Amino acid sequence: MSSAPPAGTITMAGKTVSRLGLGTMRLTGPGTWGDPADRGQALSVLRQAVHTHGITHIDAADAYGPHTVEHLIHDALSPYPEELLIATKVGMLRPAPGTWTPHGRPTYLRACVEASLRRLGVERLELCYLHRIDREVPLADQIGTLQALHDEGKIGHIGLSKIVSDDFHRAAREITVAAVQNVLNIHNRYDPVLELCRDHGIPYVPYRPLNAGSAARGGDVSTPLSWLLELGPHIAPIPGTSNPQHLADIVNSVAAEGW
């Protein structure tokens, strides 16, 4: 593992991890569905991220595949290094390729967590996000289920994904929010939740930091990632790729900017 984590470090879910993480959504088939075209390459991306580039924050979801990415992470990285944080997300149905349906009923969330534990081969999900708030189910029921699983020792820390400010305030009255994951990039520059996280000392994890590649004009990834990192030390972007060379380019470009 490299001696200097890319983009410095951040404390997240009780661990000191690299501010630059790896998003794993792209390690699946088209439509975030099924296995990747080259499973060996997907495994290589994960191993190189951790063992070559020093990335210690891997972001996943049971909906990626569905289930594909959690199996890949286990096969590539288990037994896991002590310093590695694997974050995953629950609460999303995948009825078809490219289709995403929030599902936050307590029985489903509990089943999702139990299944993720098995796929990842761990006794506790160190950071588990509610993938999306299901607007058909009371928020208290959704976060209450995750809190109960936390109290049982099956979840270490609870995060929220794709939320607005009101969601944050409502959830924070009931649980300790460990991290927030929202869209933020140079094409989507404003999110008031960013300031809420700063004020509360909570890591803010921008997903789609390169806007599916459109923010990296001419292949330049350093400018959009540096813009994010400069917003504050609580920012921890998770660019994703399925290509080992692209991963190296991302890490090297950030290092070249002095992060």
Cα-based torsion angle of the residue sequence 166, 114, 118, 46 in order, rounded to the nearest 10 degrees: 0
Which residue among 64, 108, 129, 207 is the active-site one?
64
94 Cα distance to chain centroid? 18
- What's the burial of 35, exposed, middle or buried (CB within 10 Å: 0-12/13-18/19+)? middle
Please, what is the angle between helix 68-77 and helix 106-120, to 10°? Answer: 30
Which of 107, 83, 108 minimizes the C-alpha distance to 93? Answer: 108
Cis status of the peptide bond prior to 66, with omega within 30 of 0: yes
Residue keyed to tokens 């928020």? 139
Q: Which distant-in-sequence residues (6+ apart) come within 8 Å of 215 by Cβ?
A: 185, 186, 187, 209, 224
- AA letter at 10: I
Q: Is 129 a catalytic residue?
A: no
Kind of pairing between the strands at 22-23 and 204-207:
unpaired
- The residues annotated as belonging to the active site are 64
